[in-house]
Amino acid sequence: EAQVTQNPRYLITVTGKKLTVTCSQNMNHEYMSWYRQDPGLGLRQIYYSMNVEVTDKGDVPEGYKVSRKEKRNFPLILESPSPNQTSLYFCASRTGGNNEQFFGPGTRLTVL
Amino acid sequence: AQSVTQLGSHVSVSEGALVLLRCNYSSSVPPYLFWYVQYPNQGLQLLLKYTTGATLVKGINGFEAEFKKSETSFHLTKPSAHMSDAAEYFCAVRKGSGGSNYKLTFGKGTLLTVNP
């Protein structure tokens, strides 16, 4: 089944404790992206990647890092999480052209 | 830069009534336009998209949207609401040209409530 998977789905952590949210897709898509969703703000792009080893900042990259060492994986790294990073995070992927983005199921992160 | 405005953060309709969710965009180049739906505790699912060609596009679950360039709008409609349509709806825009124009810019969402 074609899908985007994220792990973990739920995470509660404390300020300053490094964490990684994994994202993997099995559709051989070139493009991958991370978004955060906050009430009243919709989805905002954090980082995106156009292919292996090619990444760029989105609208709200501060406090986040990403890497794209393999085509299928696009982990999101929070080196020192803060409470304002409490949010619902979505990973998405797509192939080139005008094809739709496929979204993962989301990761709900709470930073205390 | 592109942007999306969804008029009305919350829309409430009766079952069987017309659904109209409004979306206006700004884009310096011809846009690609999308509507996504998010059911409670789930990810986003594509409802429909406009890229080129026919300006009236039909999507899943009986929804359709019309691209009106003169009004910079892409409103979502459904003739008769069903209880299962209750969800949050997001309009999104991205640049229509190729290259690295990958970013989708989302509106803030409209929560649709369907009353029995």
Q: What is the 3-state secondary structure (H, E, C) of B24-91?
A: EEECCCCEEEEEEEECCCCCEEEEEEECCCCCEEECHHHCEEEEECCCCEEEEEECCCCHHHCEEEEE
Query: Is the CB of A103 less than 8 angstroms away from the CB of B45?
Result: yes
Of residues A28 and A101, which shows the higher confidence score? A28
Average pLDDT score over residue span B33-51: 91
Q: Give the mutation candidate from A4, A41, A43, A46 for the B interface (greatest B CB count, under 10 A).
A: A43
- pLDDT of B95 higher than 80: no
pLDDT at B102: 62
Q: Is A77 on the interface with B (CB under 8 A)?
A: no
Q: Which residue has the higher pLDDT, B52 or A69?
A: A69
The pLDDT assigned to A98 comes to 60
Compare CB distances from A105 to B42, B102, B104 and report the shortest one's residue.
B42
Instruction: State the pLDDT at residue B36.
Output: 95
> What pLDDT sits at residue A103?
92
Would the pLDDT of B101 be above 60?
no
Q: Is the pLDDT of residue B8 over 70?
A: yes
Arithmetic mean of pLDDT, B87-112: 81
Is the Cβ–Cβ distance between B56 and B64 less than 8 Å?
Answer: yes
A73-88: pLDDT as tens digits: 999 999 999 999 999 9
Q: If you measure CA to CA, which chain A residue comes closest to B95? A: A98
